[in-house]
A and B are shown apart, each in its own frame.
Chain A
Amino acid sequence: MQEVVELQIGQFALIYLLLLIVLFVMRKCRIHQTKLLFVASIRMTVQLVLAGLILTYIFEYPHPIFTVLYFVVMTGFAIHRVLSKNKGLNRRFQWAIACSLTVSGLFVLVFFIVVVVGESIFNPQYVIPIGGMIMGNAMTGMTLGIKTFQESFQGQRSKIEALLNFGVSPKKILLPHVNQSLETALLPTLNSMVGMGIVSLPGMMTGQILSGTLPMTSIFYQIAIMIAMCTVVCVSVFGALYFGYQSLYNEKNQILLFQKDQGLR
């Protein structure tokens, strides 16, 4: 295997030229998002350079506290993103999301690194990239799952009210919404598993191959990470929805969102 070509700053900067093509197409098609393209490119560059600097430091001076801190920040950011994309949830539902993301993310990460890879859970070289992929996917799946649940809950208000008025339990009414939202959250991950290796060589594998890892090794890692992602999305979204939906009704079987004195919270 050839060693990866180290990118020099001058060489590396050439890649930004491709953005000019994007800019040109956007102008031609009157897509008024040039500011977003500019901000996104700058933010991505700054954020990744900062992450690179932090990672360089952590790899040079590995200490469990750095690894833990990195995971905590990652998880906190994921929770924050999910909650900011899904406004109007009550406090208990928010807690269900936060706990579910943390517990399921940590569980899958520990299983992956300690049981499958056989490395220390404090090894930053494994925890940070793998943890990032796990939490990132959990975040995307969770956002989608909760959004679907909220939309179906609000969109089917007349159905929910009709069934409630007829004496059907909130649990029985809401569980199908939970199941449907979980399915929606899982589909992108399952679909990407179907096309993997044919439609695309995923990012992690590409990165490993570029840095000189044997293709078979990187494929094993990729399979492992895909299964880990599928599991974390499934478990975290299930946990959040299952514990969260129970916060939407009280012991009198009244759906709280529908109550006049409760508003949306």
Chain B
Amino acid sequence: MLEPVLQIKDVIFQNIEYPSFEIQKGNMVVFYGESGSGKSTLFKLLNATETVSAGEILYYGQPLEFQPTLELRKKILLVSQMVYLFGGSIADNFRIFYEYREEALPSLEKMRKYLSACCIDFPPDTSCVNLSGGERQRVFVAIGLSFLPDVLLLDEPTAALDEWTATCLIENVSKVCKEKGITLLVITHDLHTVEKFADVKIELQKARRS
């Protein structure tokens, strides 16, 4: 059996205790559970913007803490629910995020492909100023997806979407991830829409340490 991409072993962060589990390469894993169960925090721990208080997280068998964090975040990329887009057009946003990452900008054709995968059918020169909350969120996911990380973490990607668009987004993104061998981890409150595409579902509970 292949080595898991991620192993979470006895992880504790402050007063949140996580169950131990493993994630296999190329799987789509859905995390759900009540508010305050530490779902978003788990994603921050996975891409090393927070550090575990106890226990360890292994990435291909290597503890996260011994890996160069910036490289790691490019491989385990988190698209948080706090959406940020710069002013200007969608294409400008691709350009700015790619400049920050010092990577070559994808062609307009590729941008269209990723936008379409996120159920955005506007041309890349559309201004971001007039986009709705849900559209902004999908553009943000499209930019994250376009970096083709090894593990893509989507925190509540369907929060501002109606059921049809949410289904379209998750179906398309999971399809692209399967094609590219990207392991996809999704946090959702909308399990009904997302679970049919998931390989694994993990429920997080408020397991507080006294």
Contacts and interface: CB of A to CB of B under 8 A. Distances in A.
Task: Decide whether A and B are members of one complex.
Answer: yes
B77 A159 contact: no
B208 interface: no
A7 interface: no
Interface residues of B, number: 28
Contact of B69 (A159, A173, A253, A259): A253
A37 interface: no
B62 interface: no
Interface string A236-261: 00000000000000001111001111
B50 A165 contact: no
B82 A158 contact: yes
B146 to A, nearest CB: 11
A166 B147 contact: yes
B37 to A, nearest CB: 15
Interface stretch (B41-49, B156-164, B171-179): B41-49
Contacts, number: 69
B78 to A, nearest CB: 4
Nearest to A163: B100
Contact of A261 (B14, B97, B100, B147): B14
A252 to B, nearest CB: 5
B80 interface: yes
B57 interface: no
Interface residues of A, number: 22
Nearest to A159: B84
Contacts of A166: 73-74, 77-78, 97, 100-101, 144, 147
A167 B70 contact: yes
A172 interface: yes
Contact of A252 (B48, B83, B86, B101): B48
A168 interface: yes
A183 to B, nearest CB: 19
Nearest to A252: B69
B48 A165 contact: no
Given A166-B97, A253-B69, 13 more contacts: A157-B82, A159-B84, A161-B80, A162-B82, A165-B49, A165-B73, A165-B79, A167-B73, A168-B101, A252-B65, A253-B73, A254-B50, A260-B50
Interface of A: 157-159, 161-169, 172-173, 252-255, 258-261
The 7 lowest CB-CB distance pairs between A and B, nearest first, are A167-B74, A167-B73, A162-B84, A165-B78, A158-B84, A253-B69, A158-B82
Interface of B: 14, 41, 47-51, 65, 69-74, 77-80, 82-84, 86, 97, 100-101, 140, 144, 147
